[in-house]
Amino acid sequence: MATRHQVRQCVVSLLYAKEMGSEMEHFSDDFLEEKKIRNDQKSFTISLYNGILENLSSIDEQLDNYLGKWKIGEIGSVERQILRLGAYEMRYSDIDSAIAINEAVILANELASESSIKLINGVLDAIAKDKK
């Protein structure tokens, strides 16, 4: 059974693939099967993915407010997807903010540059502080 961290990795990958123009209809099912994301974890993955897409403009607007001199469209695609996932989990789910931030930082450590880790941590931490 896949872990929630593996589910989040898949969500970031699916968001990235969609942004790069992949045909998602069959790709997502094939990708999740390849990664052995099944049953409840598949439902969780699809829920996160669809939730982010349904709230994308609101999430991006919120992230723009915390990115300082940048806008969400000006940062790297992988970093953008990690931020979207973290912001979505903090705003639209019952996941504790500390867990969402920690997961985002781990994903950044695995998938992005060292400077991106600091950016992602800082932006999501600021969102969490304002949420309180």
pLDDT digits (tens, 9 = 90+) for 44-99: 999 999 999 999 999 999 999 999 899 999 999 999 999 999 999 999 999 999 99
Work out how many domains the chain is built from and give that number: 1
pLDDT on residue 37:
87
What is the share, in percent, of the chain residues with pLDDT greater than 90? 73
Alpha helices in the chain (DSSP H): 4-19, 24-34, 39-54, 56-66, 77-92, 97-111, 114-131
Rg (CA), the chain: 14
Whole-model pTM: value is: 0.93
- Measured CA to CA, the distance from residue 70 to residue 84 in angstroms comes to 15
Coil, strand or helix at 72: helix
- Indicate which CATH number applies to the domain containing 24: 1.10.940.10
- Measured CA to CA, the distance from residue 17 to residue 21 in angstroms comes to 6
pLDDT on residue 25:
64
**Token pair of 85 as six digits:** 């996932």
Query: pLDDT confidence of 22, banded at 50, 70, 90?
Result: confident
- Residue 106's domain comprises 4-131
